[in-house]
Structure formats: structure tokens, C-alpha cells
Copies of this chain bind each other. A is one copy, B any other.
């Protein structure tokens, strides 16, 4: 099995020239960058929702009820900024805005759906492991 770009995502061991970065630059690590985003609790859900078809703001809101407007807006902005979705404004009255996956956004669906599929397939295993772990925790000290 290939190991990909050997230790690239691990924080650079070489301590950086001098004082260049008081903090190591995470934007230089594709893995962290992308993973942080899809882990942003909502972004993945939004992408998944948009994968079915383009949606308007309130449709998205209805599809994901437990997100606040604030977070929805913010997440959409991020996705748009990253070029994963496109935002189209129709100057109707009242105005309507439609969000859709860009081609880049579509391309991430492939690995993302892979993860989704894994999640659905192995969720039972995880839940089982959890109850075992939690059970063993307080029945062990016999």
C-alpha cells in the first residue's frame, strides 16, 4: 500500500529557517486543510445535501434543521470561497439564492461518499466497540 507523500501532513520536523513562523503553517498541508474543513461539523452535510440537487438557502435550512442561520451562512461562504460550491442570485422579488456544487465540489463527493459508505457500513461496529469499552471501564476493577 502506498504511503502517499511520505510524512507530508505531519508537521514539518525541520524547525523552519529562523523566526519565520511562530506557528507552523497549516495551509501548506493539504491534508490538514481539507480535513479541517470537512470536519467543520456542517460542511460535509451541506455538500451531501447539495449533491442531490441545487438548493436555495431556506431549502438547505430545512434539510438541516439543527443548524443556525449564522452557521449556515458562514459554512456556505467558506465552501464558496474554497470553490466547492457556486452561489447564484436571482434578482426576483423577494430575492432567491441558489447554491450548487461546482465541478470541484462534485469531485470531492467521490472520496466523501466513500467515507459515508464506510460510516454506514461500520457504524454498528463502532457503537458496539463503544459499549464494550465503556462497559469494561467500570466492571474491570473487580
Tell me the smallest distance from the CB of A30 to a CB of chain B, in Å: 4
For chain A, the bracket of interface size reads 35 or more
Residues of B within 8 A of A107 (CB): 118, 122
Tell me the smallest distance from the CB of A131 to a CB of chain B, in Å: 10
Among the listed stretches A9-17, A68-76, A92-100, which one makes contact with chain B, having 4 or more residues with CB under 8 Å of it? Answer: A9-17
CB nearest to A8 among chain B residues: B120
How many monomers of this protein are in the complex? 2
Residues of B within 8 A of A120 (CB): 4-5, 8, 30-31
Say whether chain A's binding surface is mostly helix, strand, loop, or mixed.
helix
User: Are the C-beta atoms of A119 and B64 separated by less than 8 Å?
Assistant: no
A residues with CB within 8 A of B: 1, 3-5, 7-11, 13, 23-24, 27, 30-36, 38-41, 44-45, 48-49, 51-52, 63-66, 80-84, 104, 107-120, 122-123, 125-130, 132-134
